[in-house]
Structure 1
Amino acid sequence: MKFTSPIFAAAISISLICCKSKSTSEDQNRIPPEVVPEIQENRLGEEPSAFLASAADSKINWQPWSPEVLDFAKRSQRMVLVLIGTARYNGCFETLEALDRNPTMVERINRNFVPVLTDIDLTRETGLLAYNLSSEAKASVSFPFLILLSPEGNPVTWHPIQYKSDRETLAFFDNSIEVISRLWSDDPDYVTNDSALKADLRRDSLPDPDKEVPEMEERQRRYEAAMRRLESFYDEDLTSLAGSGGLFPLGVFDTLALARYDESLPPSQRQKFGETLDSFIQTLLSSAMVDPLDGGVHPARRGSTWNLVMGRRDCSTQARAARIFARMHQLDGYPGTLEAAVGAIRFAETYYQTPNGLFSLSEKPDSMETKSWLWTVDQVSSVLSDDEFKVWKTYSALNDIGNLPSEADPNRNYFRLNSLAAAVPPEEVAKVTGFDLAEVKSLIESGRKKLRKSRESRAPRPAPDHSPSALASFRMVSAYASLYTATGDASYLEKAVKLGEASRKHFLKNRFLNERPDGEPEGASDGRAFSYAIAIQAGLDLGAITLEDDWYLWAQDLTTLLAENFVTKEGRLLEVRQVSQVVEIDYEDRMMVFDDSTAGQLRLNLQRLLALGFQTPPSLSAWLNSLPPIDNFPIIFTDSLIATAHEWNHLTVKLGRESPQELVDAVRTLPLQLFVRRREGSDGVTITLQNDTEISANTAEDIKNLIQKP
């Protein structure tokens, strides 16, 4: 059965107009298409991405995302078919497999288009493109996402692909390819000119850069309004945050935790933040979002319950979660946060660490059935001993009819199925089961090992990816640094420094950041602005825990490199260097569509450098004093909220170069961001308070007491 989406229906109507305007003389004068050897073969074999590598043996002649595909398209007189996806999202790998299993579809794509496959974790700008095109249609963005480009690199038409089955996916492609091929065949000049006109309109209608707010008092006023609005979105009864969607709300946790220490906010408001965090964090930690079997953190949920998760995970989520959970533990000792941070780190080390000690973005993608992560009561009981089952039945709140709420499963697709989670604290389990606490913990652990082994037999883990990623590796540097400050465990300090040195060595070639280690940055492997921002954060964190200026200077050098190559004359922040740009529409990554935004992370990096006494590039000064609409849309700007508050919500610590080791260690383990520190002078410790008053700290206990509990 064929069907026509609204967007492709519009394409059909355009094609009818094209038929009327087609010029015979233009056809006669057109240069015959050239046979381009590069597009006669699949060229994904060397791309640094498990998602792209999964299609390296595809019969479709996939090309990497690079400006050269436009040259191929012009010479062959074809449109560019771009499929945007990632190993993290359900449906992306399945769509690739569905296409590859159909020889007719493979032949049509190869014959009519220059096919390009992109990974949004590498080419972040393609995700931004999909997001902005979806916004034009007033629709939510989802992946995989199909875009057809003219040979000049202008979007012609686009549509998300909601993978449900091979049949529906192939029907969608069959219809869309038929329509767009006829459209191009009837009048390619019209398609080229019309898409160019629309691209010009998009450039003209790009949002203005964020407005400068020169007065600190006004920035503080808008920040306070944003924080009130952010906290008001939390519904204690539903334990959810309105407007946050299904992503793990790590940014919200971090914002509220840091704001608890912001003395510019009223004490009553700071107390309310703590109450919200107490409730919200325990809900998430006791849900399936933090896997009770392997400790890995899930990036998103399915539907309306935190107990129905998206099974695919990635290294960046583990590193980001570990960094934020460790800080929450260090600042306020929220129960379970340190265990969650350590679990996320161990999960990342187990499944994403490559043989050379760096980290990959994800595992190799494969088909995943949601039900394979869920259990009937009988399945659980068949794996465990009687005592283990008694404990786990209470611990995970198992139920014969299933433990997912009916509103989260209205069609009863998961009837009698249970999600495993640390739903009930061990202390409560002991009261219910009659076992003592030590025995409960022992039975939980022995049952965990058995259940994990059973799950992996039903749903084998994906194969590991041995392609190191700059983004994942620098994320892990910051995760190790945060765990070191939270625990004082020197092994995390050693891991952070070792990984930081290896990443700096392998991912920078001829000054530029490269996602492929030890290679030249080009096309998809050329580091994006977000990767630079995360690398700069890693450098600042390493400087903070080692107190070595070399790391701070390296972070400053990367910031200068970013300023020179990622800012347009109009003052827009590019996500990709112009040499690697394919679609020349300068969408800025200024809001948290996927996780942190490039603009928000850049703002925080600049504030930290400035607080340390370093000069920041003039072309980036706008990001120091400008603000997005944080008071209207705080949830999607939590990274900018944190950066804004850092201007006044931090203490500056100066440590003498001849200070005793106990003072050095105490300064090194101060919470990141709330304390900026640097070696200066001969001995002793000087702290500059928020009111610019300087005080001295003579002992390690004095330094620890700087963290005043709200």
Structure 2
Amino acid sequence: MPNRLAHETSPYLLQHADNPVDWWPWSAEAFEEARKANKPVLLSVGYSSCHWCHVMAHESFEDQATADYLNEHFVSVKVDREERPDVDAVYMEAVQAATGQGGWPMTVFLTPDAEPFYFGTYFPPAPRHGSPSFRQVLEGVRAAWADRRDEVAEVAGKIVKDLSGREISYGDAHTPGEEELAQALLGLTREYDPQRGGFGGAPKFPPSMVIEFLLRHHARTGSEGALQMAVDTCERMARGGIYDQLGGGFARYSVDREWVVPHFEKMLYDNALLCRVYAHLWRSTGSELARRVALETADFMVRELRTNEGGFASALDADSDDGTGKHVEGAYYVWTPQQLTDVLGEEDARLAGHCFGVTEEGTFEHGQSVLQLPQQDVLFDADKIASIRERLLRKRDERPAPGRDDKIVAAWNGLAIAALAETGAYFDRPDLVEAAVGAADLLVRLHLDEQARLARTSKDGQVGAHTGVLEDYADVAEGFLALASVTGEGVWLEFAGFLLDHVLVRFVDAETGSLYDTAADAEKLIRRPQDPTDNATPSGWTAAAGALLSYAAQTGAEPHRTAAERALGVVKALGPRVPRFIGWGLAVAEALLDGPREVAIVGPALDDPATKTLHRTALLGSAPGAVVAVGAAESDEFPLLADRPLVGGEPTAYVCRNFTCDAPTTDPERLRTALSS
């Protein structure tokens, strides 16, 4: 019989709807039940494409004996971290503070007042490698609750007091300048892996936000070292197993330093960020590899993640049926030499094995290999490799596909909108721009209410119950601003303004300029979360700074510019110390130091060839964070177009920054020069 999760919209919660555990969703009712029953709360946090979440669910939450014990002694609450990032952030901070590490599944025991007192992540069904079994943990917590309640209350109180004292405020700091950005670059150079690309050791994550900083820093200063780190990292990732060499798109991370073996789940946010990174890399260098990867990643998102409603699903699972009924990580993606031969014949299989690094020993498990592209493309016949790719992809499509989390997350769709809009514009792919417009339409139609308040999620056309957090407002505004620049439709600028007004009123501390991850009127947790550092996506704090800065450049809105500058005080403080973890903030700081530049393109019509040429030239300019407005000379859709006449009756470009404008030009080459220095 299904439990209470059967009525939820989250795919992750629905995966647990048939567990014998009497799960509750996160709710006031769950904690009231714990108070009435005088029981502690088990909080279990995960997400649908999390491999070890599935493992713990199978081992423990689907086990009747474990469920019976939980149901007798605990009130069990299940949370989708992607749906409730605020709940996840607060308790993950507690887990990391107490244990020095964190991850998912996250297992936290709470009092009925939601105060944490015992923590962990994955617990096995039997003691293993020094870790107690889940049943032992449950019995220990139950005994402590029954026999040492005062001690439990004291521990919980100390933890809550410690968390509540961790307010972050850098609003009085100045904005970062040349010195801080140079120190950040030096710090990144020290952590850079010159042999393999990327930063740090294993596991190795795609450093999307850091690469954006490196590209902008090169564009503004000419630093060849910054560009080389970006180029080499992008090439190593694109040639590694973390990139799907057949279908395009990136896996979550590499378990090794060489980018060979990925954790196979594919997340929308990674692919949106990396699609944009490779498009920007092509814009900076003209790299054919960057062009191919940007387009293949965009096509992957549209082909495999777009939903019937026009938005983009959250993720594809790492696990899938291996053909024998067992769910195995990576089963959909890996190959043996014999499998290549079965599809391609012996001669082409030998070529494919050499090209894609498929060996008898294997690079993964059980003699299987993850496809890579370790050799330079010029060593192989391009048409032959394209044919091999097509045949292997067609055969792979016959395998049981990984599950898809169809939840629409506002923030991640905002990132996808920006990536698809720009990639479509750069490479003359109007279908990609249309896909971006479709996702933006869905967010406006379904996720925005009459007060322009944003819902975090939806699924199958049904909006979720949870309100948007800071990253939702910031990333959706970023997507709308990119869409406005690409399409010349001022309505997207207007919608971005609505969202950013909410940021100013509901997320910014008026006294300090600091930002919080949740709105002032959001559900009160044991602490109001705030974190200026990047994780898998840009922090809401610095994403908001970037969107506020771009909107101010488009509109001249001084409150938005001031808020962006105050928010960047955190980059001045943290950039030189931990540059890997504040990459997007560093990228925004580059835009601030460059102006950012404001480009107005006026012409008789958007489809006029000369206007289109100037518009495309403006979009391809590498000046950090430059904003572009395009429209008719008499248009009132963009403030930047006001009082900008045609010159000599010809389409004209105006470039300004810091209250100073260049002479208007009708020459695309002069415009290109103005945006590349």
Is this a same-fold pair by TM over 0.5? Answer: yes
Deviations 1:690-709 (A, max 9, x none): 7934222203444344443x
Q: What's the RMSD between the two structures over aligned residues?
A: 3.0
Q: Give the Cα separation in 1 of the matches to 2:276 and 2:392.
A: 25
Q: Map 1:4-15 to 2 at 5 A.
A: none
1:651 alignment partner AA: R
Q: TM-score, normalised by structure 2?
A: 0.87
> Is 1:64 the equivalent of 2:5?
no
SS in 2 for 1:148: strand
Match of 2:588 among 640, 643, 666: 643
Range moving further from structure 2, 629-638 or 531-540? 531-540
1:508 alignment partner AA: L
SS in 2 for 1:259: helix
**Is the alpha carbon distance of 1:375 and 1:689 closer, same or farther for their aligned partners in structure 2, counting shifts above 3 Å?**
same
Match of 1:426 among 377, 383, 406: 377
Q: Map 1:161-176 to 2 at 5 A.
A: 161=122, 172-176=133-137
1:237 matched residue in structure 2:
195
Q: Alpha-carbon deviation of 1:364? A: 6.5
> Is 1:680 the equivalent of 2:642?
yes
Q: Give the Cα separation in 1 of the matches to 2:293 and 2:495.
A: 31
2:226 matched residue in structure 1:
273
> Is 1:703 the equivalent of 2:651?
no
Q: TM-score, normalised by structure 1?
A: 0.83
Match of 1:652 among 588, 598, 620: 598
Do 2:314 and 2:406's aligned partners in 1 also have CA atoms closer than 8 Å? no
Q: Alpha-carbon deviation of 1:395? A: 0.6
Deviations 1:40-73 (A, max 9, x none): 9722234333222211222222222234433332
Q: Alpha-carbon deviation of 1:657? A: 6.2
2:417 matched residue in structure 1:
477
1:396 matched residue in structure 2:
356
Do 2:267 and 2:315's aligned partners in 1 also have CA atoms closer than 8 Å? yes
Q: Alpha-carbon deviation of 1:286? A: 0.6
Q: Alpha-carbon deviation of 1:638? A: 0.3
Q: Give the Cα separation in 2 of the matches to 1:619 and 1:77.
A: 46
2:445 alignment partner AA: K
> Is 1:665 the equivalent of 2:612?
yes
2:649 matched residue in structure 1:
none
**Is the alpha carbon distance of 1:675 and 1:659 closer, same or farther for their aligned partners in structure 2, counting shifts above 3 Å?**
farther
1:560 matched residue in structure 2:
501
Q: Map 1:54-453 to 2 at 5 A.
A: 54-137=15-98, 139-161=100-122, 172-188=133-149, 190-204=151-165, 206-210=166-170, 212-214=172-174, 219-242=177-200, 245-262=203-220, 265=221, 267=222, 270-363=223-316, 368-370=327-329, 372=331, 373-402=333-362, 404=363, 414=365, 416-429=367-380, 437-449=381-393, 452-453=396-397
Do 1:51 and 1:364's aligned partners in 2 also have CA atoms closer than 8 Å? no
SS in 2 for 1:468: strand
SS in 1 for 2:288: coil
Do 1:323 and 1:483's aligned partners in 2 also have CA atoms closer than 8 Å? yes
Q: Which consecutive unaligned segments of at least 5 residues does structure 1 have? A: 1-39, 405-412, 430-436
Q: Give the Cα separation in 1 of the matches to 2:317 and 2:288.
A: 34
Deviations 1:658-690 (A, max 9, x none): 467335424543148632123332333211257
Do 1:67 and 1:582's aligned partners in 2 also have CA atoms closer than 8 Å? no
Deviations 1:543-565 (A, max 9, x none): 21123332222212111212333
Do 2:198 and 2:207's aligned partners in 1 also have CA atoms closer than 8 Å? no
Q: Alpha-carbon deviation of 1:336? A: 1.4
Q: Give the Cα separation in 2 of the matches to 1:272 and 1:77.
A: 61
1:351 alignment partner AA: E
2:494 alignment partner AA: L
Q: Alpha-carbon deviation of 1:438? A: 4.7
Deviations 1:170-205 (A, max 9, x none): 96220111011111122445533541243123212x
**Is the alpha carbon distance of 1:171 and 1:272 closer, same or farther for their aligned partners in structure 2, counting shifts above 3 Å?**
closer
2:549 matched residue in structure 1:
607
Range moving further from structure 2, 349-358 or 167-176? 167-176
Q: Alpha-carbon deviation of 1:607? A: 1.4
Q: Give the Cα separation in 2 of the matches to 1:394 and 1:619.
A: 54
1:478 alignment partner AA: A
1:633 matched residue in structure 2:
578
2:612 alignment partner AA: D
2:557 alignment partner AA: F
**Is the alpha carbon distance of 1:110 and 1:566 closer, same or farther for their aligned partners in structure 2, counting shifts above 3 Å?**
farther
Match of 2:559 among 605, 611, 616: 616
Q: Alpha-carbon deviation of 1:420? A: 1.0
Deviations 1:245-304 (A, max 9, x none): 521122222221222111xx3x4xx11222223322211111111111211211211133
> Is 1:491 the equivalent of 2:431?
yes
Q: Alpha-carbon deviation of 1:641? A: 0.2
**Is the alpha carbon distance of 1:621 and 1:287 closer, same or farther for their aligned partners in structure 2, counting shifts above 3 Å?**
closer
Do 1:666 and 1:703's aligned partners in 2 also have CA atoms closer than 8 Å? no
Do 1:471 and 1:534's aligned partners in 2 also have CA atoms closer than 8 Å? yes
Q: Which consecutive unaligned segments of at least 5 residues does structure 2 have? A: 321-326, 630-640, 647-651
Range moving further from structure 2, 382-391 or 641-650? 382-391
Do 1:566 and 1:573's aligned partners in 2 also have CA atoms closer than 8 Å? yes
**Is the alpha carbon distance of 1:569 and 1:575 closer, same or farther for their aligned partners in structure 2, counting shifts above 3 Å?**
same
Do 1:485 and 1:668's aligned partners in 2 also have CA atoms closer than 8 Å? no
Q: Alpha-carbon deviation of 1:381? A: 2.4
- Percent of aligned positions that are identical: 17
